Structure 1
Amino acid sequence: MKLEVIVNNGIEAIQAEALGADRLELVSAINEGGLTPSYGTIKQVLNSVSIPVQVMIRPHSYHFCYSNNDMEIICADIEQLLDLGGNRIVFGALTEDNKVDTTILEKVITIDSSLDITFHRAFDETASLTDAYRTLNNYKNVKRVLTSGGAANCDNGKEMLKKLVEMEADLNGPKIMPGSGLTPYNIKEIHDAVQADNYHFGKAVRIDNDFKYGFDKASMEQIKQIVKG
């Protein structure tokens, strides 16, 4: 079972790895839901840890419908990551009618066939989560889907999360990774209901539940005991 946590820089990445995180999501501007980090930050983190690092590729926080201008930035940022030796991204794009934008997704995938993609919580804004999942299942580069089951948090979305995990098993599709509102206090109940094997944590593993501070060792240990048995 995999435990992924959000980090903003190299110091946090080192801390997270030392505390037992299996994978990192590297972002900037976490208060805007996470945007593409700088070249220097990406380089620092990739050189600081040995665990996988998924880099957020998101040029702005306005919406997930991207223009040609946005796509120029997105493609350049991915090429920059590849130049640094990384190939793991967190990305999502939607059409104006809230479906997975397959045209944009395919354009991203053609940049490099080795790309390892986590489709982020744009997924939760799709008109039909099950249809969106079937669409993403057509792309072998999409390895994970970060989702709260279409709800404000994983607790409210756990019935849909369970359904999506069942679809994952039936289709041998991308891993469903619950994220949003997970805490050391609700993870057991949610895991018992959902039975995912990837979980994503943000501020719940920080001191005082605040990204301004470092990781809370006790919270990380508590979550590891539950998620990893």
Structure 2
Amino acid sequence: MRLYPLGDAAVVLEFGSDISPATHRAIAAFSTYLARQPFAGLRETVPAFTTLTVYYDPWQLSENGRQQPYGRVVEILRQLLAAATATDAPAETSVVDIPVCYGGGFGPDLAFVAQHAGLTTDQVIALHSNAEYLVHMIGFAPGFPYLGGLDARLATPRRPQPRALVPAGAVGIAGPQTGIYSLPTPGGWQLIGRTPWRLFNPEWAAPSRLRAGQHLRFVPISDAEFTRLQQQELLS
């Protein structure tokens, strides 16, 4: 376990160097432990692929200026790490089904991904939609899920020239990863489809539809089904 500062109000805990379900479980367990038993001055925890960033109030941790806050929070975290166990991680039993319309205007790079993999577009869709994915982290943009579990045959390099604007809901592949654009942003992932679901809304009680630790599947839908579901989303 390596701990190092991030600015003057955060500590990064590095749980390993490999992106894996085991690393994810360790991060989730300690994040859950801190949520259940927060220390004085804890502000927020942010999980990532191999790290957990812990944000804290440096003034409170310094005990009104009498201690060096970073050293104090590192001491606290090392004590809590020794007490936490893998059983503290919440058990995710359900799988979220994400509707996706593949190809055409919704997935302009589907043919390229198929060519790169030496497969047909139907085979790419089947491989992509038959897998179960783990949400390792939310990042890049609010609500954007980074997913583990992509079939290695579908790994495809990013576009040499990123698009200036990728629509919200676009499903893409970049290297060994797949993900969903939660907001209209620039992006260089290979776009193979699009979901009509909204993944982020600041007016929701929980603004991100997905969270780290969830499992999901992609379910192919037709153009007509995409339009119907999109209209439902706009009314919700």
| TM-score of the two chains, using structure 2 as the length reference | 0.24
Q: Flag the structure with higher helix content.
A: 1
| TM-score of the two chains, using structure 1 as the length reference | 0.24
